[in-house]
């Protein structure tokens, strides 16, 4: 099969086919996930928590992200590689140019940034210069200290409407994919219907165009806490490749996320 591109993911949305995405941080897991048929791998700045043992993603640096992006890109053949721009690496347009370049040169196919309206100019400038961008709305973990914790976002009507408007703004600025994290399922559906680009949800209900999980949660290797929106696919399979194949198949059939994984 050919390399998966954002155009292929767009076509999947248009044809009502669900997109399966997972995080990875090294070549070995990336290779298994690629061979299992995952559509996209995110080198998430969640690596600060699951690899480095930090309490949040704030300490992660661009050097960390470039290193793990290089590792993952060596393991994949077909899967689209998304890489997270870490905390404060895109606070200005100029910083974004320098740091997004590092991730693209390390093997990313598209870079992800958390935020809404304030990012519009940065995004359109990156896209004009040949760097594709994935947006991220809802719970944006790099702002955890402003948000007052890892909390579901967009429950109030004004915040929900604002998020729909921001999703449209991001799309107009040139974003090609949009991650939606920890929002009510109804809002996940409304945003996915309001934009033409594919939405990838995590704790955003079953009606987003795709799903993403942190690999440690999907394989049940998070030491203590399993988020409500996640499921351990390894317990049912006992084999990492089969666990990811099951995840892809459950997403594609609309069985994951189930009612127990969603927020109201």
Nearest Cα to Cα of residue 131 among 103, 92, 167, 91: 103
Residue 9 makes CB contacts below 8 A (sequence gap 6+) with: 19, 39, 40, 80, 177, 198, 209, 210
Is 84 a binder of ligand KIV (CB under 6 A)?
Answer: yes
| Terminal alpha carbon distance of the chain | 39
Asked if residue 76 lies in contact with residue 41, where contact means CB atoms within 8 angstroms, the answer is yes
In the list 41, 44, 99, 166, the residue contacting ligand KIV (rule: CB under 6 A) is 44
Is 192 a binder of ligand KIV (CB under 6 A)?
Answer: no
CA 262 remoteness from chain centre:
17
In the list 8, 19, 40, 45, the residue contacting ligand KIV (rule: CB under 6 A) is 45
Rounded Cα distance between 60 and 74, Å, is: 21
Nearest Cα to Cα of residue 109 among 201, 3, 2, 244: 3
| Residue nearest to ligand KIV according to CB distances in the complex | 44
Q: Which of 181, 186, 250, 260 is catalytic?
A: 181
Is 197 a binder of ligand KIV (CB under 6 A)?
Answer: no
110-112 and 133-138 strand pairing:
parallel
Closest to ligand KIV by CB, 1 or 185: 185
Asked if residue 261 lies in contact with residue 230, where contact means CB atoms within 8 angstroms, the answer is yes
DSSP label at residue 37 = T
Stretch that binds ligand KIV, among 10-18, 41-49, 145-153, 233-241 (CB under 6 A): 41-49
Is 135 a binder of ligand KIV (CB under 6 A)?
Answer: no
Is 179 a binder of ligand KIV (CB under 6 A)?
Answer: yes
Is 46 a binder of ligand KIV (CB under 6 A)?
Answer: yes
In the list 12, 212, 248, 262, the residue contacting ligand KIV (rule: CB under 6 A) is 212
Q: In the annotation, is 181 catalytic? A: yes
Shortest distance, position 49 Cβ to ligand KIV, whole Å:
8
Stretch that binds ligand KIV, among 1-9, 37-45, 182-190, 223-231 (CB under 6 A): 37-45
Shortest distance, position 84 Cβ to ligand KIV, whole Å:
5
DSSP H or E run through 181: strand 177-181
Residues 16-35 contacting ligand KIV, CB under 6 A = 23
Is 71 a binder of ligand KIV (CB under 6 A)?
Answer: no
Q: What is the dihedral of CA 146, 166, 40, 240, to 10 degrees?
A: 40
Is 243 a binder of ligand KIV (CB under 6 A)?
Answer: no
Which positions are annotated as active-site residues? Answer: 181
Judged by the rule CB under 6 A, the positions of this chain that interact with ligand KIV are 23, 42, 44-46, 84, 179, 181, 202, 212, 214
């Amino acid at each position: 099969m050919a390399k998966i591109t954002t155009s292929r993911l767009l076509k999947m949305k248009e044809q009502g086919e669900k997109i399966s995405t997972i995080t990875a941080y090294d070549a070995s897991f990336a290779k298994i996930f690629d061979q299992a048929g995952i559509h996209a791998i995110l080198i998430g700045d969640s690596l600060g928590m699951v690899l480095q043992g930090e309490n949040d993603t704030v300490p992660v640096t661009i050097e960390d992200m470039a290193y793990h992006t290089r590792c993952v890109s060596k393991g994949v053949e077909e899967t689209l590689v998304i890489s997270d721009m870490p905390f404060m690496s895109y606070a200005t347009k100029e910083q974004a140019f320098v740091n997004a370049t590092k991730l693209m040169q390390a093997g990313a196919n598209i870079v992800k940034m958390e935020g809404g309206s304030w990012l519009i100019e940065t995004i359109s400038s990156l896209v004009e210069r040949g760097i594709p961008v994935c947006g991220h709305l809802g719970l944006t973990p790099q702002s955890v200290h402003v948000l007052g914790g890892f909390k579901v976002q967009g429950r109030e009507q004004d915040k929900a409407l604002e998020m729909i408007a921001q999703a449209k703004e991001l799309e107009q600025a040139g974003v090609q994919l949009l991650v939606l994290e920890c929002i009510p399922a109804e809002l996940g559906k409304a945003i996915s219907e309001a934009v033409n680009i594919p939405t990838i949800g995590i704790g955003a209900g079953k009606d987003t165009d795709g799903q993403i999980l942190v690999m440690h949660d999907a394989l049940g290797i998070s030491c203590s806490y399993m988020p409500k929106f996640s499921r351990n696919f390894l317990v049912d399979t006992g084999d990492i490749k089969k666990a990811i194949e099951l995840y892809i198949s459950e997403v594609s059939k609309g069985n994951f996320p189930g009612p127990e994984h969603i927020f109201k």
